[in-house]
Amino acid sequence: MSELITNIGELMTQDGELGTLRNAAVVLEGERIAWIGDAGNAPAADTATDAQGRAVLPGWVDSHTHLIFAGDRTAEFEARMAGESYSAGGIAVSMNATRAASDYELTRMALGRVSEAASQGTTYLETKTGYGLDVEHEARSARIASTVADEVTYLGAHLVPAGMDADAYTELVCGEMLRAVRPYVSWADVFCETGAFTPEQSRAVLTACREAGLGLRVHGNQLGPGAGTALAVEFGAASVDHVNFLADSDFDLLAQSWSGWDGGTGARGTVATVLPACDLSTRQPLAPARRLLDAGVQLAIASNCNPGTSYTSSVAFCVTTAVLQMGLSVHEAVRAATWGGALALGRETGTDEDGKRAVGSIAVGHRADLHMLNAPSATHLAYRPGMPLTHQVWRAGVVV
C-alpha cells in the first residue's frame, strides 16, 4: 500500500540536498519513502492524508535511554530539589527493584515507556542495560531490551554494586557478563565518572567490548572534568554522552575526530550527545551545545529517560530546552534530535540496497518515520513550550 501525505506547510527533511520544503508532499510505500516534492506534482497513491498546512519532520531518534527498570526514585528527586547534590549512588535503588521484578513486569513497563515515547514523535530509540549489575540480571535486561528497542547497549559498567571490589567487578563486566549479554546487544557503554568507573577500569571495559565486536559509547564528563571524552575519542566511540564539564582540550579532540569526515564520507568521529532534561533534573550546568557545534563537533540530543535523573521520554521537551536555554536554533536542535541521533547510532545512511534504511531524515529510500506537528512550523516547538504539538506519527510507514 502507498500513502500520499500532501499539503505539508513545512517539510523539514534534514536531508542535505532537499533541505526544508514548503507546500510539499511525501509518498510512503510500505516502510520506505518513495517520493518527495511539490504538492502540486504529487503522484497518485492508494490512500491520502491532508496535512492541512501542518509541519512534518523526521521522527525523533532517541539515542540514549535506560528503559529496563523497575521501582521509583521520587524521594531522591525531592531531596535533590531541596539542595542535595546528585551522585551515581541512586542507581543501586533501581538495581534492587529491577532484580525483584518479573520478566513480565519489566517487559510490560518497558513497552509502556516505548509507547509513551512514540506518542510524542519518537520513532527510533536505543536503550541500555545497567540496572541488573550481575550476570543473570544483566543478561535478562539485555534480552528484554532486544524485544522492545531498536538498538540495545550493554551497560554492565553502570555502577559497582555495594560490597563488591571495583576491580573484581570490572573483570566480571569484561568477561562472564559480557559473554552472557553478547547475543542481545550491538553496543557497549561505560560510566566513566567519579563514583562509578575510573579511567583505567573504563579502558578495560572498552577494550574488552571492542574485542567482542561491539560498537562503543561512553557516559563522560557529567559530574565534573574527567577522562571520559578523551577515552571516547581514543577508542573511536560512536558517542560520548552528557559532556557537561569539558576542557578546551576535549572540544579540540571531539572536533579533530571529525576532521576526515566530509558530509557523510570518510572517517567518522565521536558524536557529542547532550541530555538537557537530565541537566535540569540534576541541576548541573547545561552541556555546552552551542560551543560544541561552533567547534565543528557533530551533536545529538537525547532524552536519557531513566528513573533517577531524567524520567521523561519527551524529546520535544529536550529540543525546546536546547533552543530556549542552550543557544541552539530550532533547526539545529531538531537536526540534533533526528539526524544527529541517527548519526550517533550509525543509522544516518542506508537505503533499499542494503536493507538497513536510514532513519533521522526524510529522503527517498529512507525509512518512513515521520512526525506531523499540529503547527505550521517546527519553530512552534520552542515558541509554544510545553504544548502537546504531536498530531500524527508514522513509524516505518505505519501510523502509531
Which one, of 57, 49, 47, lies nearest residue 11 by Cα?
57
**Which pLDDT score, from 0 to 100, does residue 88 have?**
63
Query: How many angstroms separate the Cα of 130 from the Cα of each of 114, 139, 379?
Result: 18, 10, 36
Which is it for strands 55-58 and 370-373: parallel, antiparallel or unpaired? antiparallel
> For residue range 226-276, what is the model confidence (pLDDT) as tens digits?
999 999 999 999 999 999 999 999 999 999 999 999 877 788 999 999 999
> For residue range 179-208, what is the model confidence (pLDDT) as tens digits?
999 999 999 999 999 889 999 999 999 999
> For residue range 42-69, what is the model confidence (pLDDT) as tens digits?
999 999 999 999 999 999 999 999 999 9
What would the DSSP string read from start to end of 277-297?
Answer: HHHHHHTPPPP-HHHHHHTT-
**Which pLDDT score, from 0 to 100, does residue 385 have?**
97
Q: What does the mean pLDDT of the chain come to?
A: 96
**Which pLDDT score, from 0 to 100, does residue 311 have?**
97
Q: Is the pLDDT of residue 352 over 90?
A: no
* Contact in structure between 220 and 231 (CB atoms under 8 Å): yes
**Which pLDDT score, from 0 to 100, does residue 266 have?**
82
**Which pLDDT score, from 0 to 100, does residue 353 have?**
63
Q: Is the pLDDT of residue 171 over 70?
A: yes
| 182-195: b (≥16 Cβ within 10 Å) or e | bebbbbbbbbbbee
Find the farthest-apart pair of alpha carbons in the chain and give their distance in angstroms, rounded.
68
**Which pLDDT score, from 0 to 100, does residue 288 have?**
98
Rounded CA-CA distance 334/338 in Å is 6
* Contact in structure between 391 and 57 (CB atoms under 8 Å): no
Please give the grid coordinates belonging to residue 269: 568521529
Query: How many angstroms separate the Cα of 19 from the Cα of each of 26, 36, 49, 352?
Result: 14, 12, 22, 22
Mean pLDDT of 137-153: 98
Residue 90 pLDDT grade (very low, low, confident, very high; cuts 50, 70, 90):
confident
Residue 278 pLDDT grade (very low, low, confident, very high; cuts 50, 70, 90):
very high
3 state SS of 397: coil
Count CB-CB contacts under 10 A for residue 144: 24
Count CB-CB contacts under 10 A for residue 176: 13
H or E element in which residue 367 lies: none
Mean pLDDT of 153-159: 97
Q: What percent of the chain is modeled with pLDDT above 90?
A: 92
Angle 330-337/315-325 helices, nearest 10 degrees? Answer: 150
Residue 354 pLDDT grade (very low, low, confident, very high; cuts 50, 70, 90):
low
Rounded CA-CA distance 54/70 in Å is 38
Q: Is the pLDDT of residue 86 over 80?
A: no
Q: Is the pLDDT of residue 87 over 80?
A: no
